[in-house]
């Protein structure tokens, strides 16, 4: 729990954000509002020349993960996350694609042909491409408004030296309206400025020389607002979302699940999975999470994480049984999955792979 820090209170008398030291867990301060958490992340722009589509026109949101696969098989593919497209440009016959580069990006100097897929289907091929990175100077800093500073932060601000204002490594902890952990972000903050806050006496607005590497984009803000009010009370609250929104919902489920303490239930439990809405990869893990841990529950966000959850500390103790109701949608939509290189999974579709992992975790799965 966050230790008490004197000062004004946030909405409903609770703090929503806390800046804590990562090494000793001390609290730099708590506040009800953070500026810089909700904003559009910097996106790389790719112009793909002589674009030849494999299927329908690629326009609008393309996918959670789009792989760019070099024609040269000696080179590794790389990932563009949350990819969007304006469609082919008539004057240049090029496709303009934006997204979040993974930590690798394209091989240095590569301009050769690449082929694109979204994990399920091939999208098309280009002869060469150019890549423009986001302007690093354009990203705003992080501002904690109405911050009630702890004693250590007060001392650092009073000292005013550059060393004292370097807060080293810290966590921005985010809680919902009930005070339960929701998410966090790791920072290496330095104090840029501070001033008295209009939020109340003895409160400050603290500006940090730090930008978040995982800001919350506009399309995900309504989902965050729902979770900040508290976790869902009924299963399937995500069912009406599209794949992009389901991915954002799954990220919140994963973040919250990693922060909560789970008490493993006794062995021999029976679980039920509602498979009616499993039409993409995030919905598979959302349905699994709710089957094992109830509405908004987490039980893995990929195959490797699912295997980890089956080993304990996430509410499950082997052995157990799982009744999977209506597996047809999952088999229909997830049977054709591509590797990063664009190769089909060898003899094993994603659903079958998940069933194998569950069996290895001593979950006996039946179907209805």
Q: Could you report the per-residue pLDDT of 71-103, keeping only the tens digit for each? A: 998 999 999 999 999 877 766 789 999 999 877
Q: Could you report the per-residue pLDDT of 267-317, keeping only the tens digit for each? A: 999 999 999 999 999 999 999 999 999 999 999 999 999 999 999 999 999
Task: Report how far residue 217's alpha carbon sits from residue 36's, in angstroms, rounded to the nearest whole number.
Answer: 11
pLDDT at residue 22 in the model: 80
Task: Report how far residue 277's alpha carbon sits from residue 192's, in angstroms, rounded to the nearest whole number.
Answer: 47
Task: Report how far residue 362's alpha carbon sits from residue 311's, in angstroms, rounded to the nearest whole number.
Answer: 10
Q: Which two tokens stand for residue 327?
A: 């597996």
Task: Report how far residue 299's alpha carbon sits from residue 287's, in angstroms, rounded to the nearest whole number.
Answer: 9
Task: Report how far residue 66's alpha carbon sits from residue 82's, in angstroms, rounded to the nearest whole number.
Answer: 8
Q: Which two tokens stand for residue 35?
A: 């500026």
Three-class secondary structure assignment of the chain: CCCCCCCCCCHHHCCCEEEEECCCCCEEEEECEEECCECCCCCEEEEEECCEECCCCCCEEEEEEEEEEECCCCCCCEEEEEEEEEEEECCCCEEEEEEEECCCCCCCCCCCCEEEECCCCEEEEECEEEEECCCHHHCCCEEEEEEEECHHHHHHHHHCCCCCCECCCEEEEEECCCCCEEEEEEECCEEEEEEECCCCCCCEEEEECCCCCCCECHHHHHHHHHHHCCCCCCCCCCCCCCHHHHHHHHHHHHHHHHHCCCCCCCCCCEEEEECCCCCCHHHHHHHHHHHHHCCCCCCCCCHHHHHHHCCCCCCCCCCEEEEEECCHHHHHHHCCCECCCCCECCCCCHHHHHHHHHHHCCEEEEEC
pLDDT at residue 6 in the model: 37
Q: Which residue numbers in the chain have pLDDT < 50? A: 1-11
- Residues 6+ away with beta carbon under 8 Å from 91: none
Spacing of C-alpha 301 from chain mean position: 10
**Dihedrals φ, ψ of 68, to 5°?**
-105, 115
Beta pairing partners, 112: none
pLDDT at residue 138 in the model: 67
The answer to whether residues 357 and 306 touch, using CB atoms and an 8 Å cutoff, is: yes
pTM above 0.85, yes or no: yes
């Amino acid at each position: 729990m966050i230790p008490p820090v004197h000062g004004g209170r946030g909405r409903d008398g609770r703090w929503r954000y806390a800046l804590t030291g990562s090494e000793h867990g001390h609290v730099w301060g708590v506040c009800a509002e953070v500026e810089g958490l909700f904003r559009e992340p910097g996106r790389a722009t790719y112009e793909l020349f002589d674009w030849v589509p494999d299927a329908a026109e690629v326009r609008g949101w393309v996918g959670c993960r789009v792989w760019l696969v070099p024609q040269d098989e000696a080179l590794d593919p790389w990932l563009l996350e949350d990819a969007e497209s304006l469609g082919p440009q008539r004057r240049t016959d090029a496709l303009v694609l934006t997204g979040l580069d993974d930590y690798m990006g394209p091989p240095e100097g590569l301009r050769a042909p690449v082929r694109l897929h979204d994990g399920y289907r091939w999208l098309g091929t280009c002869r060469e491409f150019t890549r423009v990175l986001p302007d690093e100077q354009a990203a705003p800093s992080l501002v904690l408004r109405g911050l009630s500073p702890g004693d250590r932060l007060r001392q650092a601000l009073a000292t005013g030296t550059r060393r004292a204002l370097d807060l080293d490594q810290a966590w921005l902890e985010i809680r919902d309206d009930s005070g339960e952990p929701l998410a966090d972000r790791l920072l290496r903050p330095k104090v840029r400025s501070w001033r008295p806050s209009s939020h109340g006496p003895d409160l400050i607005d603290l500006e940090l020389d730090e930008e978040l590497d995982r800001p919350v984009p506009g399309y995900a803000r309504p989902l965050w607002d729902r979770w900040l009010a508290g976790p869902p009370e009924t299963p399937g609250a995500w069912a009406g979302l599209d794949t992009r929104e389901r991915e954002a919902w799954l990220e919140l489920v994963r973040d919250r699940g990693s922060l909560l303490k789970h008490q493993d239930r006794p062995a021999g439990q029976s679980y039920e999975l509602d498979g009616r809405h499993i039409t993409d990869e995030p919905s598979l893990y959302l349905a699994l999470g709710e089957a094992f841990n109830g509405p908004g529950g987490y039980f893995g966000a990929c195959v490797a994480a699912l295997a980890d959850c089956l080993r304990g500390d996430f509410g499950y103790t082997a052995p157990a049984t799982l009744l999977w109701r209506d597996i047809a949608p999952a088999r229909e939509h997830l049977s054709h999955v591509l590797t990063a290189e664009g190769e089909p999974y060898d003899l094993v579709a994603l659903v079958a792979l998940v069933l194998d992992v569950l069996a290895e975790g001593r979950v006996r799965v039946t179907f209805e």
